[in-house]
A and B are shown apart, each in its own frame.
Chain A
Amino acid sequence: MLTANSLRRVAIIGGCRIPFARANTAYAEASNQDMLTAALQGLVDRHKLHGERLGEVVAGAVLKHSRDFNLTRESVLSTTLDHATPAYDVQQACGTGLEAALLVANKIALGQIEVGIAGGVDTTSDAPIAINERLRKVLMKANRGKTTGQKLAALAAIRPRMLMKPELPRNSEPRTKLSMGEHCELMAKRWNIARAAQDELACASHRNLAATYARGFFTDLMVPFRGLTRDNNLRPDLSMEKLAALKPAFDKHGGTLTAGNSTPLTDGAAVVLLATEDWARAHNLPILAYLRAGETAAVDFVNGDEGLLMAPAYAVPRLLEKLGIMLQDFDFYEIHEAFAAQVLCTLAAWEDAGYARDRLKLDTPPGPIDRTKLNVAGSSLGTGHPFAATGGRILATLAKLLAEKGKGRGLISICAAGGQGVVAVVER
């Protein structure tokens, strides 16, 4: 598969996202394609890629309408890119955006393409509501009928309640029937994560995000969309008192996860431009940072007594071992805040000798991290979390943080449904 003479470094040139919006607010009427197109066009405008044929564009969405089967390609056709740019969709739950970047990066590294765009989009406001499953079966049967009589006979089986109960997409695990919040609540209990610690992390996320907006950091990473110029989930004045007043959201009795320390359902899109160094030079585009390596892990949360969102705890040590670096050898840690508790469980697991020995199969635990380097520009608790868009948001943010610093290394960790986790290392 190695098309070039040797492996090439993968440069992160830039990113573009639309502001994220809490579900059923500013983007209630926007489709996945509208949002992905806006993010893509923003990236194209900023980097003057009009008429440029790219190696590929890879993106995806967790919640898709059936009409969105070719979502990314359709979005590319709505931009000023050369329409001869191929595209495909991927989906790995909340890991979609980062996994897409790893796919594009791999092709660049191997010499299959010179440049590509990776990203993701999601809307829970314009969700694909399917018709009732029993109604669907009746309609399919009628469709199979060869004569009018057969068709009518099949349709006669329609009952009013079939019309009243559509099938809604659900934020829950098919095998456990538990929602992601309920799963994370179990993790928080397993790791004894205090409510106050979760609220503090949420507070820091909003505070850091507000400060990062205030210094204009995001101006070249975002395009305005539908009247928004920053994430409408951001609460710059959020306080511990306000967070403490919230009731548990998933476990009414003794739960610690609340609407304040969990991410809300969110709409948004984010994309990242990746290329070889030569391509960047030839197009006179500065390089923010390099996508060094990625790793994906999964855990058995159904029968294996592991928390649903603990896969990054496994993926990171595996990747560190391959790269021969320590968990402490980073300047920035970007740990996606699906829930404050998810971040804190992961950090606790890395410090636990027993967990390292029994689960991670390590002699010594990865150890603690310098918390002042964690999510310094804010993360999902502040921005919100449009599932597939989060990877692109984090990758571009981290690349720019490293570019600002001039030199350094950053870690990305993203947990995903199905007990999965996608992680990556970015360097400059």
Chain B
Amino acid sequence: MMARDRYLAFANSPFGKKLTGAIGLPQPTPLERFAPGRPDLLGPVIVGAAQGGRLAAPLAELLAAAPVATLFHGEYAGWTDIAAQHRLMTGRFDAKSSGTVGSAVFDATGIADPDDLAAIYRFFHDTIRSIARNGRILVLGTPPEDAPNLAGRIAQRALEGIVRSLGKEAQHNIAAQLLYVAPGAEGAANSSLRFFLSPRSAYVSGQVVRIGKPVAQDTDGYDSHAPHAGRTVLVTGAARGIGAAIAEVFARDGAKVICLDVPQSTADLLALAQRIGGERLTLDITAPEAPKTIVEDAMARGGYDVVVHNAGITRDKTIANMTPDAWNIVMNVNLVSALRITEALLDADALKPNGRVVCVSSIAGNAGNLGQTNYAASKAGVIGMVQGFAPVLAARGATINAVAPGFIETQMTNAIPLTIREAGRRMNAMAQGGQPVDVAETISWFADPASVGLNGNVVRVCGQSLIGA
């Protein structure tokens, strides 16, 4: 059972709403999450663009497939032609008559000079109040390092500041992201545009994602409603919490999931595997023979399509009080085993073409945390692992990325003392903790067969936490 946020429930009761409003306490509202049968994309979508934008066509393609209606900002009259080409409904945005919208997307890839940034100011100045609760803000940019000149590089880097501030300003569970799409990678943006305009990305905000040169061709017969159909996915630490949610999301989206956990959790693991029609792999990933056993399992199944290194533990103590065991076990479970398993799978060629490795880091890996030198070291190490492996995997037509959860409602966070727990929960743009499914959806997006341009990214699932930003 998920840990419960009693304050969230209270603040949304009739009396709680009045009281928290009157004395100025945070007033979080429950995040709207994806559920099968509910709309995939949050529409209608207001679109805007600076001259020379490169992402109109991929965006229109995605929205037309949904389908979601669009509204164009007055400065983007060119959108009518693009919409017509894609048989996409559109009309001029008008703050008075357009009503509320699900998302606002600005294509800033064409911005070549700091002076041009005023276009993005005007777009959000006009539209931000029209974005509905749980809506989305998405800014599309060119990676600063790919800008043709200094002015372009500066302007593109400035987008980060705009987006992170929008995420903090928008409130009402509205999430804001910046997607840097490299020139030539436009065709690889689809799965990311879809994820960030969908309720799947509920607890992801203030993130900067880079989409680069595709590592593989898009697979044939791909269905965005069941992206993992026919794929085999290994999830470590699957018995409970975030791991169980990951297994469930992959199974929901069509995958055969191999649920791995330690022998002590056999009962939970069995129940999970039965519930999702998956398989069980009971072993201790820190054992010396673990990589070999996993490789054998993979080979017996014709290889894994996706490997999710989720297993993680904490043994918190300030460094002066920490025992060597506490240091070692955290490093072994959280980092070293993931490294050894990945190496073994690659050596054995047990990761299938267009394969995915997704690691679980933590905002403690960015920010550090009192009493967590071991944990933060392991989670920062995961970031290093993702960055280091990225070119290796790209050469094999595969990718590696990491999620970095913030405060997620699990048994692990439920064990934190109340006052610290409350601070962790509220100190983010959503004023609440995330759910394991929020992390799982983000991992599923990284693992999506269409996410061929995502490699070496670390995306936080933290509701734009103030910590470690």
Residue B92 is within 8 A (CB to CB) of chain A in the complex? yes
Residue B80 is within 8 A (CB to CB) of chain A in the complex? yes
In the complex, chain A residues whose CB is within 8 Å of the CB of B343: none
Contact B89 A224 (CB under 8 A): yes
Instruction: Choose among B92, B96, B100 the residue that contacts A223 (Cβ–Cβ < 8 A).
Output: B92
Residue B321 is within 8 A (CB to CB) of chain A in the complex? no
Residue B238 is within 8 A (CB to CB) of chain A in the complex? no
Central interface residue in A48, A50, A216, A228, by most chain B CB within 10 Å? A216
CB distance from A13 to the nearest CB of B (A): 13
In the complex, chain B residues whose CB is within 8 Å of the CB of A222: 89, 91
Residue A338 is within 8 A (CB to CB) of chain B in the complex? no
With the chains together, A228 CA to B87 CA distance in Å? 18
Known: A41-B92, A229-B44. A224 touches B71 (CB 8 A): yes
Interface string of A374-389 (1 = CB under 8 A from B): 0000000000000000
CB distance from B269 to the nearest CB of A (A): 41
With the chains together, A225 CA to B71 CA distance in Å? 9
Known: A26-B99, A224-B44, A225-B99. A38 touches B94 (CB 8 A): yes
In the complex, chain A residues whose CB is within 8 Å of the CB of B100: 227
A-contacting residues, B52-69, CB 8 Å: 64, 67, 69
With the chains together, A321 CA to B142 CA distance in Å? 65
Instruction: Choose among B64, B77, B87, B91 the residue that contacts A224 (Cβ–Cβ < 8 A).
Output: B91
Contact B92 A42 (CB under 8 A): yes
CB distance from B262 to the nearest CB of A (A): 49
In the complex, chain B residues whose CB is within 8 Å of the CB of A37: 97
Chain B interface mostly: loop
CB distance from B223 to the nearest CB of A (A): 18
Instruction: Choose among A26, A30, A219, A227 the residue that contacts B89 (Cβ–Cβ < 8 A).
Output: A219
CB distance from B97 to the nearest CB of A (A): 5
With the chains together, A229 CA to B84 CA distance in Å? 16
Contact A223 B43 (CB under 8 A): no
Contact A216 B97 (CB under 8 A): no
Residue B128 is within 8 A (CB to CB) of chain A in the complex? no
Residue A405 is within 8 A (CB to CB) of chain B in the complex? no
Residue B208 is within 8 A (CB to CB) of chain A in the complex? no
Contact B97 A45 (CB under 8 A): no
Residue A46 is within 8 A (CB to CB) of chain B in the complex? yes
Residue B90 is within 8 A (CB to CB) of chain A in the complex? yes
Known: A38-B97, A46-B84. A225 touches B67 (CB 8 A): no
Contact A226 B98 (CB under 8 A): yes
Known: A46-B84, A224-B44, A229-B43. A218 touches B77 (CB 8 A): no
With the chains together, A250 CA to B71 CA distance in Å? 41
Residue B235 is within 8 A (CB to CB) of chain A in the complex? no
With the chains together, A50 CA to B89 CA distance in Å? 19
Residue A34 is within 8 A (CB to CB) of chain B in the complex? yes
Contact B84 A224 (CB under 8 A): no
Residue B88 is within 8 A (CB to CB) of chain A in the complex? yes
In the complex, chain A residues whose CB is within 8 Å of the CB of B99: 26, 224-228
Contact A220 B84 (CB under 8 A): yes
With the chains together, A300 CA to B329 CA distance in Å? 94
Instruction: Choose among A34, A45, A216, A226 the residue that contacts B80 (Cβ–Cβ < 8 A).
Output: A45
In the complex, chain A residues whose CB is within 8 Å of the CB of B92: 41-42, 45, 223
Interface string of A33-72 (1 = CB under 8 A from B): 0100110011001101010000000000000000000000
Contact B89 A226 (CB under 8 A): no
With the chains together, A38 CA to B87 CA distance in Å? 20
Among residues of A, the one whose C-beta sits closest to the C-beta of B70 is A224
With the chains together, A311 CA to B397 CA distance in Å? 71
Known: A38-B91, A216-B87, A218-B89. A225 touches B80 (CB 8 A): no
Among residues of A, the one whose C-beta sits closest to the C-beta of B81 is A48
Contact B67 A216 (CB under 8 A): yes
Instruction: Choose among B69, B80, B83 the residue that contacts A229 (Cβ–Cβ < 8 A).
Output: B69
In the complex, chain A residues whose CB is within 8 Å of the CB of B96: 34
With the chains together, A91 CA to B69 CA distance in Å? 32
In the complex, chain B residues whose CB is within 8 Å of the CB of A228: 99
Central interface residue in A37, A41, A224, A229, by most chain B CB within 10 Å? A224
With the chains together, A229 CA to B41 CA distance in Å? 14
In the complex, chain A residues whose CB is within 8 Å of the CB of B87: 216, 219-220
CB distance from A209 to the nearest CB of B (A): 15
Contact B97 A226 (CB under 8 A): yes
Contact A45 B88 (CB under 8 A): no
Among residues of A, the one whose C-beta sits closest to the C-beta of B86 is A219
Contact A46 B80 (CB under 8 A): yes
Among residues of A, the one whose C-beta sits closest to the C-beta of B101 is A227
Interface string of A203-236 (1 = CB under 8 A from B): 0000000000000101110111111110000000
With the chains together, A258 CA to B214 CA distance in Å? 59
Among residues of B, the one whose C-beta sits closest to the C-beta of A26 is B99
B-contacting residues, A217-264, CB 8 Å: 218-220, 222-229
With the chains together, A30 CA to B67 CA distance in Å? 26
Central interface residue in B64, B77, B80, B97, by most chain A CB within 10 Å? B97
Contact A45 B91 (CB under 8 A): yes
Contact B80 A224 (CB under 8 A): no
Contact B97 A34 (CB under 8 A): yes
Known: A45-B80, A46-B80, A46-B84. A224 touches B69 (CB 8 A): yes
Contact B97 A50 (CB under 8 A): no
With the chains together, A222 CA to B87 CA distance in Å? 11
In the complex, chain A residues whose CB is within 8 Å of the CB of B90: 223-224
Contact A229 B89 (CB under 8 A): yes
Among residues of A, the one whose C-beta sits closest to the C-beta of B130 is A227
In the complex, chain A residues whose CB is within 8 Å of the CB of B94: 38
CB distance from A257 to the nearest CB of B (A): 33
Among residues of B, the one whose C-beta sits closest to the C-beta of A227 is B99
Contact B88 A219 (CB under 8 A): yes
Known: A38-B91, A219-B87. A225 touches B43 (CB 8 A): no
Among residues of B, the one whose C-beta sits closest to the C-beta of A16 is B91
In the complex, chain B residues whose CB is within 8 Å of the CB of A46: 80, 84
With the chains together, A220 CA to B88 CA distance in Å? 7
With the chains together, A48 CA to B80 CA distance in Å? 9
With the chains together, A223 CA to B93 CA distance in Å? 10
With the chains together, A223 CA to B90 CA distance in Å? 6
In the complex, chain A residues whose CB is within 8 Å of the CB of B84: 46, 220
In the complex, chain B residues whose CB is within 8 Å of the CB of A227: 44, 98-101
CB distance from A14 to the nearest CB of B (A): 10
In the complex, chain A residues whose CB is within 8 Å of the CB of B70: 224
CB distance from A44 to the nearest CB of B (A): 9
Among residues of A, the one whose C-beta sits closest to the C-beta of B67 is A216
With the chains together, A262 CA to B164 CA distance in Å? 52
In the complex, chain A residues whose CB is within 8 Å of the CB of B80: 45-46, 48
With the chains together, A127 CA to B279 CA distance in Å? 64
Contact B89 A225 (CB under 8 A): no
Among residues of B, the one whose C-beta sits closest to the C-beta of A31 is B97
Among residues of A, the one whose C-beta sits closest to the C-beta of B68 is A229
Among residues of B, the one whose C-beta sits closest to the C-beta of A214 is B67
With the chains together, A218 CA to B89 CA distance in Å? 8
In the complex, chain B residues whose CB is within 8 Å of the CB of A226: 97-99
With the chains together, A110 CA to B413 CA distance in Å? 79
With the chains together, A173 CA to B333 CA distance in Å? 82
A residues at B contact (CB < 8 Å):
26, 30, 34, 37-38, 41-42, 45-46, 48, 50, 216, 218-220, 222-229
In the complex, the 10 A-B pairs of residues with the closest C-beta atoms, listed nearest first: A223-B91, A227-B99, A226-B99, A229-B69, A219-B89, A224-B69, A216-B87, A42-B91, A224-B91, A219-B87
24 contacts between A and B (CB under 8 A): A26-B99, A34-B96, A41-B91, A41-B92, A42-B91, A42-B92, A45-B72, A46-B80, A48-B77, A48-B80, A50-B77, A216-B64, A219-B88, A220-B84, A220-B87, A222-B91, A223-B90, A224-B44, A224-B99, A225-B91, A225-B99, A226-B98, A227-B98, A229-B43
B residues at A contact (CB < 8 Å):
43-44, 64, 67, 69-72, 77, 80, 83-84, 87-92, 94, 96-101
Known A219-B87, A219-B88; 8 more pairs at CB < 8 Å: A34-B96, A45-B91, A46-B84, A48-B80, A218-B89, A223-B90, A224-B90, A226-B99
